[in-house]
Amino acid sequence: MPAITTERLVRAFDERNAVDGLDLEVHEGEIYGFLGPNGAGKSTTVRMLCTLLSPTAGTAVVAGHDVARHPEQVRLRIGVALQDVALDPKQTGAELLRPQGRLYGLGRADIESRVVELGRLVDIGDALGRPIGTYSGGMRRRLDLAAALVHNPQVLFLDEPTTGLDPVSRARVWEEVRRLNDELGMTVFLTTQYLEEADELADRVGIIDAGRLVAEGTPEELKRKVGDDVIIARVDGDPASARAAVTGVFGVQGVEARGSELVITADNGSATVGPVAVALDNAGVRVRDLTLRTPTLDDVFLELTGTHIETEEIQ
C-alpha cells in the first residue's frame, strides 16, 4: 500500500491554483523529495496532506486514510515539522514535548520515556529543561523534529527542514532523517528548494513547478534525462554567438546560455570538451574557463521548466 497517494489534487486561492492537478504516489518506507522553487506549491501540498488545508478538488490518501474524509485518522499516523518551527519560546523543551504526548493519547510513563529518548535522538537532551527561547536555530529545528516524532508516526512530513540552518546543523538534520528512515522504516515526505538536499537524501524526487508535477524519478534517472555530462564554458562577449558556435558540434546534445555561461549537455563529456573548445576558439569566443561535470538536479529543473531553482548555495 502506498504511504501517500494523490489524484488530481487541487488547491485554489482566489482565482489562482497553487496546486493544480497533482498526482503523486509515495511508497512506504521511502524518502520522497519534493523539489521546487519558492511559490511552486510545495508547502500548500504539505498542508493539504497533513490536514491543515482542505483540497479544493481531487483526493489525497495518507497512511491509508483520506485527508478530507478522515482527517483525525491521518493526524494519528503522521508527524509534521513545518517550514517555520512551531515552538513556543517561553516553554522549555520538555514542556513542549509532554503535552504533545498527551494529545496523542500516550500514558504518563510512555511520555516520560519518550521525552528522554527523543532528547537523545535529536541531541538536545541536556537542553530540554531550558526555555526554547535560549536555543540556537539548529536546536529549535531538532526540537521541532522531536515534537513531530513523539507518537512514532508512520509518515513524517518535513517542510524545508534545513532552511536557514548552518551547514553543520543541516548535515545533522540530514543524518537524523536518514536514520529515521533506515532504522524505523519511517516514510519521509521532504520538501526542499535545496537541490543538494534532495540529491543527498531522497530515494525518489518529484519536481513541482507552478503547482504541477513536471518530473519524477530517482535523482540519477532525472539527471540522465539531461544527458550524461555537462560542460560549463564561461565566456566573454555575446553568449548567443558562443551558443551558435557550439551547437552542432559532434556529441553535443543541448546548449543553454545562462548569463556569461554556456551549459552544454553531452553524452560523453570528456570526448566532447575538446571539440567544444576548438569550436569556440574558431568562432573567436574568448573562453575564461571550461568545466566538465555530471548533471545536477538544477540542470534537470532548467531542462524541464526553462528556469533555475533560485536558492542559496549550500556551503
Partner 1 sequence: MTVLAPTPPAPGITARPAGVVHDLLAIAGRALRAVPRDVEVIVPPIFIALFFFLVNVATLQKVVEGTVGTFDIKAFQMPTAILIGVTGVSRAPALVLDVQNGYFDRLLLTPVRRTAILVGHMCADVVVSCALTIPIIVIGFIMGVRFETGPLGLLLFIAMAGLWSLAFAGFGYAIALKTGNPAAVNTSFLLFFPFLFLTSSYVPRSQLTGWLHTVSAWNPVTYLLEGLRAHTMNGWQWGDLGQAFLAIAIVGAISFSLCFAALRGRLKRG
Q: Which residues bind partner 1 (CB under 8 A)?
A: 47, 50-54, 72, 75-78, 80, 82, 84-91, 95, 99-100, 102-106, 110, 114, 117, 120-121, 123, 147, 151-153, 168, 171-172, 175-176, 179-180, 183-184
> Which is nearer to partner 1, 90 or 310 (by Cβ)?
90
Q: In which residue are the cell numbers 530517482 written? A: 218
Supply the minimum distance, in Å, between the C-beta of residue 139 and partner 1: 12
Supply the minimum distance, in Å, between the C-beta of residue 271 and partner 1: 39
CA atoms within 13 A on the CB side of 81: 25
Three-class secondary structure of residue 217 per DSSP: strand
* Beta pairing partners, 79: 156
> Which is nearer to partner 1, 87 or 232 (by Cβ)?
87
> Which is nearer to partner 1, 88 or 281 (by Cβ)?
88
Supply the minimum distance, in Å, between the C-beta of residue 204 and partner 1: 23
Distance (Å, whole) CA 20 – CA 274 = 44
Distance (Å, whole) CA 125 – CA 137 = 16
Supply the minimum distance, in Å, between the C-beta of residue 61 and partner 1: 18
Q: How many Cβ atoms from other residues are within 10 Å of residue 163's Cβ?
A: 18
> Which is nearer to partner 1, 110 or 261 (by Cβ)?
110
Supply the minimum distance, in Å, between the C-beta of residue 83 and partner 1: 9
Task: Provide the terminal-to-terminal Cα distance of the chain, rounded to the nearest Å.
Answer: 38
Supply the minimum distance, in Å, between the C-beta of residue 64 and partner 1: 14
Supply the minimum distance, in Å, between the C-beta of residue 167 and partner 1: 10
Supply the minimum distance, in Å, between the C-beta of residue 314 and partner 1: 15
Helix, strand, coil percentages in the chain from 3-state DSSP, rounded to 5:
40, 30, 30
Three-class secondary structure of residue 22 per DSSP: strand
> Which is nearer to partner 1, 172 or 243 (by Cβ)?
172
> Which is nearer to partner 1, 170 or 223 (by Cβ)?
170
> Which is nearer to partner 1, 46 or 235 (by Cβ)?
46
Q: In which residue are the cell numbers 575564461 written? A: 288
Supply the minimum distance, in Å, between the C-beta of residue 108 and partner 1: 11
> Which is nearer to partner 1, 13 or 250 (by Cβ)?
13
Pair 4, 49: CB distance under 8 Å: yes
Q: Cα–chain-centroid distance for residue 91?
A: 30
Distance (Å, whole) CA 189 – CA 37 = 17
Q: Where are the alpha helices (DSSP H) in the chain?
A: 42-49, 71-77, 93-103, 108-121, 137-149, 167-184, 195-201, 219-226, 239-246, 269-282, 297-305
Burial class (CB in 10 A: 0-12, 13-18, 19+), 236: exposed
Distance (Å, whole) CA 103 – CA 119 = 19
> Which is nearer to partner 1, 77 or 225 (by Cβ)?
77
